[in-house]
Amino acid sequence: MRRFIVGFLATIGTLVLLAIVAGAAFFASGPFSPKPLPQQMVLSLDLRSLPPETTSTGLLSGGLFGSSRDIIETVQLLWQAADDPRVVGLYVEIGDEAGGLARVQELRQAIAHFRGKGKFAVGFAESLGSGGNHVADYYLAAALEQIWLQPSGGFGVTGIAVETPFLKGGLDKLGVKVEGGKRYEYKSAPDSFTETGYARPARENLQQLIDSLFGQFVADVARDRKMEAGQLRRLIDNAPLESEEARRDGLVDKIGYRADALEDVYQRANGKRELVTLAEYAGDEARPQTRGEVIALVRASGAIMSGGGRSSPLEDEAAANAEDVVEALEDASQAKDVRAIVLRIDSPGGTYPAADAIADAVGRARAAGKPVIVSMGDVAASGGYLAAVRGDVIVAQPTTITASIGVFSIWPMAQELLTSLGINVERVSVGRNAGMHSTFQPPSPAQRAAVNRELDVIYAAFTAQVAEFRNLDSNRIDAAARGRVFSGVDAKRAGLVDELGGLQLALNIAKAKAGVDEGRKVEIRRYPNDGDRLQRVLDHLFKLAGVSTAPSLGMPREVREALAKFGVAARPGNVRLPPLPPLWR
């Protein structure tokens, strides 16, 4: 019965999806198709929530038909707009105070390029830094030519604060112990479960990290706002400030409401009172799209894990499936027209075998003659760093959180809790170390020794790879490892990354490594193509329904023809969707 219900619902869902696609084809090709954009326009960009590293592909989270764009596409569109003579300016809504600083730097670099073409950039914020523990919204705002702040909003940028809950005391009261180990003293991820507070090495490392991040923020914003770094620090130390105080001290330019800011934008645009959203601009076929040499873009976003991916099309993808990344690298390395590969990594880590598999695939792509340039996002740490280590060149943003070269293994052990509840768990096993990671019975001394040997082996292999491919001697690798976490700036000093910058720098290096002329345009081709998201959902729904071909659903001829107009091929054996258009620069 359950199988029948699942199949029935999946079939209904598939038919609904196909109907939506057919409807979209009608709207796209009929009287509701987008109108041509004006010959003079101002782009409107809503950054009250920063673009994610990758857009959601979960059906329930809106990723399938949502209009959101990831950070890479957003930045690429801004670079295209800078070269588009029709675009005269940019209006930005500001408000994401907790966004990743590396993504902010990607946007800052794109805005700087946009302004460098002689175009204006105006931003409006209802408030700045109201949370009081991060600086992302003001860091972004400072890249703009003019900042408007609402009178009632205020300036609450007070610095960067990191708070870590330590659960050991509470777990002890519950009778839950945490077993395992780590390599070494700076690998602080498990400390939340095994310590009652920051250990000295972990505190020192974390303080070094946030000092580096805040120092970059102060230096960049002071330059943007044309003030001394010491003066900016004093103003931040005196925050929160009223809006008028922030304007008087040079932290913002204008006090007013959104309507006031928009009126200023309209005047700058010679009285034209219409904004063009980034989504509208992305759908405009007239924007600059010169074909050129192909650079492959492969992404590893989220925790790096092994396995076959999601179990349901309704689930969001919160992990980087190593098999998918390896396959994408292999496909890109075998494509004859691909000149180089950019591997974009935004990952806090994952399992060692999964990250090692990606590192191996990077090495194989290089052996096939394709340069591999790594571009790091907000974080590329632990397994995320291991996946990068064999690249020709590693590029990180100054605020990228990276390294964390170490390993840990922990699991809860609730024997005392169960005993207090009158629960007895007995074991029948074969093999001396069977059940060594049990939640119900503590490991034996021999099993603890086995865990420690495993940690030693992984740590030795990890550091050996870093030492070999980064050409670090024993002293430098020890200073860079032991679980330490670095900002991009400090990672470069430690020899762990090569260049500081964003995706555009990685692309330029890829062009140079591939022998592509600096002035020649390149096509950025994604592997796998993001157009596969709907394909994956349809394939999974067909699988759940036990249906292998679209015709077996009795699809009417009119629907198949409508789908064909939209570029969807419905034929025996599959329903194949068109890829999304490539990115250009």
pLDDT of residue 224: 98
Residue 393 has phi, psi (to 5 degrees) of: -140, 135
DSSP 36: P
316, pLDDT greater than 80 = no
C-alpha span between 581 and 283 (Å, rounded): 10
What is 293-527's CATH number? 3.90.226.10
Pick the more confident residue, 71 or 19. Answer: 71
Over residues 147-155, mean pLDDT: 96
Over residues 233-249, mean pLDDT: 97
pLDDT of residue 218: 98
Over residues 213-219, mean pLDDT: 98
pLDDT of residue 197: 96
Pick the more confident residue, 200 or 315. Answer: 200
Lowest mean pLDDT: which of 11-20, 211-220, 439-448?
11-20
pLDDT digits (tens, 9 = 90+) for 126-142: 999 988 789 999 999 99
- Backbone torsion region of residue 309, taken as left when φ is above 0, otherwise alpha when ψ lies between -120 and 50, otherwise beta: left
Mean pLDDT score of the chain: 86
pLDDT of residue 307: 76
572, pLDDT greater than 70 = no
Over residues 13-38, mean pLDDT: 56
Would you list the DSSP string of 59-105?
Answer: TTTTTTT-----HHHHHHHHHHHHT-TTEEEEEEEE--TTS-HHHHH
SS3 content of the chain, % helix, strand, coil (to 5): 40, 20, 40
pLDDT of residue 61: 47
Q: Which CATH number fits domain 41-158+240-288: 4.10.220.20, 3.30.950.10, 3.10.310.40, 3.90.226.10?
A: 3.90.226.10
pLDDT of residue 492: 98
**Beta carbons within 8 Å of 289's beta carbon, 6+ residues apart:** 80, 584
pLDDT digits (tens, 9 = 90+) for 378-410: 999 999 999 999 999 999 999 999 999 999 999
51, pLDDT greater than 80 = yes
Structure tokens at 510: 């890829």
Over residues 435-455, mean pLDDT: 92
Over residues 19-45, mean pLDDT: 66
The residue ranges of every structural domain in the chain are 1-33+537-585, 41-158+240-288, 293-527
312, pLDDT greater than 70 = no
pLDDT of residue 537: 53
pLDDT digits (tens, 9 = 90+) for 258-304: 999 999 999 999 988 889 999 999 988 777 765 778 999 999 999 99
pLDDT > 90: percent of the chain: 72
C-alpha span between 339 and 335 (Å, rounded): 9
pLDDT of residue 284: 82
pLDDT of residue 472: 97
Q: Which stretch, 17-21, 329-333, 524-528, has highest mean pLDDT?
A: 329-333
pLDDT of residue 281: 94
Equal fold, 41-158+240-288 vs 293-527? yes
Over residues 229-255, mean pLDDT: 97
Containing H/E element for 342?
strand 338-347
pLDDT of residue 475: 94
pLDDT band, residue 250 (cuts 50/70/90):
very high
DSSP 471: T
pLDDT of residue 541: 53
Lowest mean pLDDT: which of 129-133, 453-457, 470-474?
129-133
pLDDT of residue 556: 47
Task: Please tell me the pTM assigned to this model.
Answer: 0.85
How many C-beta atoms lie closer than 10 Å to residue 487's C-beta?
27
How far apart, in Å, are the Cα atoms of 57 and each of 3, 13, 302, 314, 535? 25, 16, 13, 9, 11
The beta strands (E) that lie in 143-274 are given as: 146-149, 177-183, 254-255
